[in-house]
Amino acid sequence: MPVEAATLGHVEEEVARQKSVLSNLHTSRNRLPTEALRDIFIHRARDYHYKHMCPTKSVPSWVNVSYVCRHWRNVALDCPTLWSYLFIMSRRWTEVLLARSKQASLKIRVNLVYLLCASPVLSCVGIVMNHVERIQGLCLRLPAPLIQRGVLSRLSSRAPRLQYLDITVEYPNSPVEWSSLLFDGDPPALRTLRLAACAVPLYSFRLSALTVLRLVDVPVQFQQDMEEFLATLSRMQDLKYLYLYDALPSATGFLSSAVFKTFEKIDLTHLSRLRIRAPLSTTVTLLSCINIPLKTQVRLECKSESNSSLDHYALLRSLLAQRYKDQTQSSPTILSLIVQSTERRATLTFGPRQRDTTPTTYGEWDRDIPLRIELDYLMVDEDAIICDICSSMPLSNVQTLSVHRPIFSPAFWRRILRQLQNVRYITLYGGNMPDLSVLSLTDHTAHDSEGEGLGGLAACDRSQSHVLAPRLEKLGLVYITFLPDYNSDLPEPAITRGCLMAALSTRRLEGSPGHLTMTQCNIPDSPRFNMVAVWGGGGGGGCYESPDVDVDVYLDSDWNLEVEEEEQEEGEED
């Protein structure tokens, strides 16, 4: 072979070798560290696990990480935690997952509700339940008949790693009491317990480490009475979240018992959220028997009972007054009040944000609402109850008042506005226009008297001039209906457009500036009405330009209106 050919071959071999070395260097440079890749895989599996209830129609997408390349597969197979997020589909997959997860703590979610044939999945569940000692999180959805088919009988042994337990029973037409003791009654690491429509007796658990308790729709025959529940609650000193939805019976009898009068309150010093949906007597009893921090977010859904009395509402008011008597920095300042009224139902939301008045968003936990109270099926004077509850709250800093369906008497508005001396924005949503004559700058009505309370909303002991809502900057009306000017026999405490202007005339003459806006309001004998007007500013009126309105409004010194309304489009509904 010629020397040149041998040299050329050697060169080609060296080029190939150098290309291979360069390729390997590029691969090493672009490859994520094994630890980072493992964390990404686990994050993907965990995200899928908590968003889907198994079984699914196909293998979860995150499993494909083990088929991308050899390196990814090696990383995946060498990560037991990745395979501990069990999806129960078939016996083969169940056994593979258990083997790959080695001794990692198991997270299991199983939905047996909509299965046409539950036997294959039940067989897989049985295999998993043989590893109870490894279960860290267990979420079960099962119809009531399956309780007796051995699903839970395998959960009688101890579960030292169990931290999260969530069981929901569907179709509990005839609730079944569980005969076996779950986890030998002692899951020492249990932190979160969520039970829906379950007959699991709480007293069968050792719950001293619990931080989250959520009970929903407990079958009536298995509900603990108040004394029993309080005894159970007293063992949960570390609770952070307590949710009770239709989980406790009426506590009317306990309220009048000697035990209640001498009951030593339970200190829940770590509680940050409390939500109760229960009879009114149960709600006030529970609030009376626990001490919780001022920063705790509280939501109460109080259901009236046939034997509900004014005493129950008075006790609720007293409890709220006592809770907020000593304001500290740990208690959120209340800057907004939202009152929603429907037939025989009222909702009060006390918010920490100045303009927190969006009708569809109030009351959510992520908005840090300090307190929300729902009063269902009111049997007594709604105006008086709402005023009494508001009077128990520290509302001196409230900037925004929003009222939905404001069908309330002038006495109601007078009493509410006396508390809200710093209110700047008032918005009314829907319903008939209430009588807001009390918005006159000087109100010649009585101050609150000791007798003005439940059953005595309009009571007074002396007449005295005082200013109501002196800082009011904006009055907004949204979908409000005005009655005709010629209607002298009003079916409800509502006023006409002319009466509203008269009520605001005093504020105008006194030079207290502000804006009146109407959005899609109903004016008799006219299309839906939008308006923006200015009052005050030295006694003059004028037109306030806004791109959001389709009418121009001119206010002369006597508040007479000359309105140039746009014609409605053909077919538009009033």
Residue 18 CA, chain-centre distance (Å), reads 63
Instruction: Calculate the CA 500 to chain-centre distance.
Output: 36
What span, in angstroms and rounded, lies between the C-alpha atoms of 80 and 67? 17
Of 62, 71, 63, 64, which is closest to residue 30 (Cα–Cα)? 71
- Map tokens 């002991």 to a residue: 461
Q: Model-level pTM?
A: 0.80
- Return d(Cα 158, Cα 413) in angstroms, integer: 60
Distance in angstroms (rounded) separating the CA atoms of residues 232 and 527: 61
Q: Which residue has the tokens 């005493």?
A: 311
In whole angstroms, what is the distance from residue 179 CA to residue 152 CA?
A: 9
One-character DSSP codes across 481-504: BPPPTT--S-SSSB--HHHHHHHH
pLDDT digits (tens), the chain, 574 positions: 555 566 777 777 777 777 776 666 556 555 678 888 888 888 888 888 877 765 555 677 788 888 888 888 888 898 999 999 887 777 888 888 889 989 999 998 887 776 645 667 777 777 888 888 899 998 888 777 666 555 666 777 888 999 999 988 876 666 566 656 778 778 888 999 999 888 777 777 788 889 999 999 988 888 888 999 999 999 999 999 999 999 999 988 888 888 888 889 999 999 999 999 999 999 999 999 999 988 899 999 988 876 556 788 888 889 988 888 765 556 678 899 999 887 778 899 998 887 644 444 444 444 678 899 998 866 667 788 888 888 889 888 899 999 998 877 778 888 888 888 889 999 999 888 888 877 765 554 444 443 444 444 444 333 444 568 888 888 999 988 887 765 555 555 567 777 777 777 766 666 667 888 888 888 776 667 787 877 655 444 443 333 343 443 433 333 333 333 333 333 333 3
Q: Distance of CA 87 to CAs 105, 146, 194, 349, Å?
A: 14, 19, 21, 42
Burial 343-374 (b: 16+ CB within 10 A, else e): eeebbbbbbebeebbeeeebbeeeeebbbbbb
Number of CB atoms found within 10 A of residue 14's CB: 10
Instruction: Return the domain boundaries, the chain.
Output: 25-88, 334-568
